Amino acid sequence: MDREDLINGVLVAAIIVLLLIVVVILPPLFSPFSLLFILLIAATVVFAVLFLPWRSIARSPLPPDPLQKHIVYQLRREGLRVEESPEGTKVRLGSVAALRFRIAPVSGGSEVRYQVYATSSGWGTLITLIILVWTSLFGIVAVIYVEHKARRFARDRLSALVTAVDSLPPPSPDDIRVLLVHSLSEGHRLASDAYEAQRSDLADTMAVVAVAGLVVGAFALLALFFGLPPENPWREGASLFGLAVLMGVGVTLSLGWAVWRRARPRLRASRNWAERLRLALVRETSRQAPGPAEPSSVELLMGLSEQIPTWLRMRRWAGLSGDQAAGWVVFTLSFGAFSILWLAVSLAIAGGFLFALVAGVGGVGLAVAAYVYWARWREKEEETIERTLDEWRQRAESLRSRLDRFLQDL
């Protein structure tokens, strides 16, 4: 049993003990709120222990740059979605789990380290389970599941790629098949990310539509109650409530259908592109020829260059909907600022001006922190989009020049 298995075993045992304590021992001694607070603290600690550290997984005699290229190429050949960034190379392992790895130079070669990570939707699920407090115990289980999946991939697959490179030199970056695999994989990732960002943005918009319908129903109820004369039969409670509900549902369905009708073509287009690129990547890695009605990988990539800016704009439009972890941070800071400022107003009305001033300063501080975090996130997101565009232009230009040389040599 390695160190990570031991840590996970201790955490599972601690969760079982914590559950027994919360269910059997503590209820007579503490209020339900105190018990939920204990679970929230436990979930936060488990998350910090498993997700924050960077762990060493393997060493190689190769320098970091060729080792990085080799690992990324092999992972993309396997059909995994890989995103390279200055913070680390992210590998998507499913709908929820992911990991990041870095390659650092050390004496005699390189060291590969990894960190447990999650997808955008995975971050939303994990943080929601923890923050809602009532579901903190399920959040602990989900955190351990994601950590186990990421650690198993790092130990079984990532480590094997690093150790195998001693006898398997990295492929030349000038090889046309390498360029095709990288380009198809990156195109598939961008198309899939665009589809998921649009879908998340659509879900958020539908939630706003539902709230709008609820508000319309409430205003309709008030308007009917005060607007209809007392002798009107529609002013009875059941009829009045039914009319208000009917108006609210009608507004919700109408707006929802309009939003869905507008978003459906873009969703379908990005999903179709993602599937076409996935199939082309499978054909390229298995060295299969495309069917009679299917475009070649080169033709697909030439048409893909026109789609990349559109997909990146979709990511920009989605905003925090496409990054649920950042969205939760902004929401939490904003909600905290609103709550504290509301408390400051209440204290001022009650005559506690000194405490109101302190609360007001704290609320404004949280509001400023929320804005600064959002502004930095947006700046970083813009940098990522511009870097992706530049990398894709360089990749497309490299592919064109390599094809021109190949055709000239025929």
- For residue 122, CA distances in Å to 47, 94, 126, 184 come to 13, 9, 6, 25
The Cα 326–Cα 330 span in angstroms is 6
Confidence (pLDDT) at 99: 93
Give the pLDDT confidence score for residue 257 in this predicted structure.
Answer: 92
Report pLDDT for 1. Answer: 46
For 12-43, how does the pLDDT look when each residue is reduced to its tens digit (9 = 90+)? 666 656 655 655 555 555 555 666 677 777 78
| pLDDT at residue 113, rounded to an integer | 92
Structural domain spans, the chain: 3-169, 172-311, 323-410
| Residues of the chain where predicted confidence (pLDDT) is lower than 70 | 1-36, 165-174, 227-240, 321, 403-410
**Could you give phi then psi for residue 109, rounded to 5 degrees?**
150, -130
Q: What is the pLDDT of residue 165?
A: 66
Q: Do residues 366 and 341 make contact, with C-beta atoms less than 8 angstroms apart?
A: no
DSSP annotation string for 222-277: HHHHHHS-TT-GGGSHHHHHHHHHHHHHHHHHHHHHHHHHHHHHHHHHHHHHHHHH
Q: What is the pLDDT of residue 235?
A: 56
Nearest Cα neighbor of 60 from 155, 159, 157, 152 is: 159
What residues are paired with 114 via a beta bridge?
55, 101
Copy the structure tokens of residue 303: 């048409």
pLDDT at position 166: 64
- pLDDT on residue 140: 85
Domain 3-169 class in CATH = alpha beta
Helices 120-131, 324-350: crossing angle, 10 deg rounding? 30
Residues contacting residue 207 through CB under 8 Å, at least 6 positions apart: none
